[in-house]
Structure 1
Amino acid sequence: MNWLLVILGGMVGAPLRYLTDRAVQSRHDTVFPWGTLAVNVVGCLVLGALTGAAMAGAASSHLQLLLGTGLCGALTTYSTFSYETLRLAQDGARFHVVANVVVSVTAGLGAAFAGVAFAQALWS
């Protein structure tokens, strides 16, 4: 049963990541990977909120598998972040490399903490 929840979450998360990435990136005429940044930050926010809900006893282990492991696991993408950062470095876009790393890590952590705080305020 657990594996089915992960699969179902992944079946939603993977196409959602692709479609969101393409939609966001198509609106920006730049080499900066806005689409990957967007899906990673949203995934961090969702995972943070889910973690806060679980800490407050409001999220079952099944919901954690469905949304945390399945959806967020397929939605977020460290490998694409790494690839795009290396591609920017190879292209000599040093500012974009530094901006991508700093903004991705800072915004991702900030979103995760915000998600936890929101869920704890809601369910505590």
Structure 2
Amino acid sequence: MIYITVGIFGIIGALIRYYLGVTINTWWVYSFPLGTLIINCLGALILGWFTYSITKSKCPEWFRLGFGVGLIGSFTTFSTFSVETLTLLNSGLIFYAFMYVLLSLLGGLFFSLLGYKISLHMRKGVGIKHAD
């Protein structure tokens, strides 16, 4: 059951990533890979929020794994980030490559933290205590 759920959620996450990437690339025509940066930061935000939202909840394991591993795992992409960084370096766009790595790492951490903070704020709003 869990394998099927992760697979189905993975298909959904990959399709969302593809659609969002195509949409961003229709208006962003520059060498900097903004689409992947936005997608990865958005995925970090959602996973940060989701991970801490389900703490001490009765979220079933199949949904937790399907959403976190399947949907968000296929939505975000480390391999594309790596290849795009190498492409920038091979094209002589060293500053873009440096900025891409820096923004991806710091952005991922920042948006994960933001997702966590949003989760804490939402829990306080509904009166759920958190173990921090």
Using the size of structure 1 for normalisation, the TM-score is 0.93
Q: How does 1:57-68 map to 2 (within 5 A)?
A: 57=57, 59-68=59-68
Match of 2:19? Answer: 19
Contact 1:56 1:120 in 2 (8 A): no
SS class of match (2:99): helix
For this pair of structures, how many residues does the alignment match?
Answer: 124
Query: RMSD of aligned C-alpha atoms?
Result: 1.3
SS class of match (1:41): helix
Deviation of 1:92 (Å): 0.3
Match of 1:111? Answer: 111
Contact 1:50 1:59 in 2 (8 A): no
Q: How does 1:1-124 map to 2 (within 5 A)?
A: 1-57=1-57, 59-123=59-123, 124=128
**Whole-angstrom distance in 2 between the partners of 1:59 and 1:103:** 32
| Structure 1 residues without counterparts, runs of 5 or longer | none
**Whole-angstrom distance in 2 between the partners of 1:56 and 1:113:** 19
Using the size of structure 2 for normalisation, the TM-score is 0.88
**Whole-angstrom distance in 1 between the partners of 2:22 and 2:122:** 33
Contact 1:32 1:96 in 2 (8 A): yes
**Whole-angstrom distance in 2 between the partners of 1:113 and 1:85:** 24
Which structure has greater helix proportion? 1
Deviation of 1:2 (Å): 0.7
Larger radius of gyration: 2
* Identical pairs, percent: 32
**Whole-angstrom distance in 1 between the partners of 2:114 and 2:99:** 21
Deviation of 1:58 (Å): 5.9
**Whole-angstrom distance in 2 between the partners of 1:119 and 1:61:** 19
Deviation of 1:28 (Å): 1.2
Deviation of 1:52 (Å): 0.9
